Amino acid sequence: MSTETVTIDKLGAEGDGIAYTEAGPVYVPFTVPGDRVAIARVKNRGTVMSVAEASPDRRDAPCRHFGPDGVNGACGGCSLQHMADEPYRAWKRQLVVDALKARGLTPDVGPLVAAHPGERRRVVFAARRTEKALLLGFNQAESHHIVDLAECPVAVPAIAGRLDVLRRIGRALSPNADPFKLTVTETMSGLDIAADGVKKPDERQRRAAIEAVLAERGIARVSLNGEILVEPARPVLDFGGASVAPPPGGFTQATRQAEEVMAAIVLDAIGKAKRVADLFAGSGTFALRLARKARVHAVEGDAAAIAALDQAARTTQGLKPVTVERRDLFRRPLMASELKVFDAIVFDPPRAGAEAQVKEIPKSGVKTIVAVSCNPLTLARDLSILTAAGYRIASVTPIDQFLWTPHVEAVAVLVKG
């Protein structure tokens, strides 16, 4: 290990500051371009010892858990609280621009749809039972150490204001000191709590856990490893007027605000399309909204998610016909012959993207495509396949819903010709 003073030249894709030195680039977390910092260096990684000269883009972190002066970043939930809003948002938008450019794509990229404190409705906590309490928080960066939270400025008040309630429930669920995940989602009927990685409790522990849940108000459901333990109220999410009961621990967009923006772009893009395919449909974030305007065929690999979508479609008035299909689109994408009956296609895959599926789309002749992505790199790859086959990128909108992290979403609209 050596100590030296470096100037941060730029921010990397993972949010680390990069200092270009004679020995090569050095990556320094919790810095911003323009910082001059004293670091302890091991190979090409640096740890900030002190800030010799702060960049004008640096600010005090708004959360006590981020670390003194935003230097050491104790809590691993956020990595960029120390960066001022305007440069932070410009950097996030640039992540999308750079990913597209690396694939030779230079479409107009709109301004970032910003995230704000108190919007995150779905939070995945790390938890571990101790002798007297429950550690509940996030793992410190590059560590298994759980930083126990007293506050969380990114989470909705219904979650951030009930950390002690979550501790009591989490401790009742956990029979030992093994770490586990606690996924908490705000729903219209209360908090949906899913514990994963917990040893199956015996009957006595099970009854005690149920009693602990029932003693608290505002809890809709608690599940253990995907199995419902107790459900005082049916957890419900609103997807464009359709009430959806997501499966335990099921995926939802992290903020309602970002979901609404994405949905508005999708609905505007399909225009007057009469038949739409929604691929990687989840529990119906887009499909149920699309069904207000068009017939929808929703395809999803997760059985519980597609069942929730189907149930909501069957019980919601005013929708055009919705058909559902459980199918692994990575292994068995819809073929061109199956896609050609649609006027528009929407796809929202996991981080791996939709490469196999995207290769079939150009052969179908479908004129309008909307690509929703949580990974600019795989989005750029998928769009390059489509543009090489004759599609034009009409718009790209970057969206932030994971505030103060390197994660950025994007919605791209493509048209044939």
81 is in an annotated binding site: no
347 is in an annotated binding site: no
Helix H, strand E, coil C: the string for 157-191 is: HHHHCCHHHHHHHHHHHCCCCCCEEEEEEEECCEE
CA angle 310, 156, 82 (to 5 degrees): 125
C-alpha atoms less than 13 angstroms from C-alpha of 59 in its C-beta half-sphere: 13
Q: What is the DSSP letter of 69?
A: G
Three-state DSSP class for residue 366:
coil
Catalytic residue among 63, 75, 152, 374: 374
Can you tell me the distance from the alpha carbon of 344 to that of 169, in angstroms, rounded to the nearest whole number? 45
357 is in an annotated binding site: no
Give the strand order in the sheet containing 36-42. 2-7, 36-42, 45-53, 24-28, 17-21, 10-11
Cβ count near 158 (within 10 Å): 16
Q: Are β-strands 295-300 and 275-279 bridged in parallel, bridged antiparallel, or unpaired?
A: parallel
Token digits of residue 185? 């989602």
Q: What is the DSSP letter of 319?
A: P
348 is in an annotated binding site: yes
Task: Evaluate whether 103 touches 392 at the Cβ level (below 8 Å).
Answer: no
* 374 is known as an active-site residue: yes
Taking CA atoms, 325 is separated from 73, 310, 314, 334, 337, in Å, by 44, 9, 14, 11, 16
Q: What is the DSSP letter of 113?
A: B
Q: Which residues are catalytic?
A: 374
Q: Which residues make up each annotated binding site?
A: 253, 280, 300, 348
Q: Which residues make up each annotated binding site for S-adenosyl-L-methionine?
A: 253, 280, 300, 348
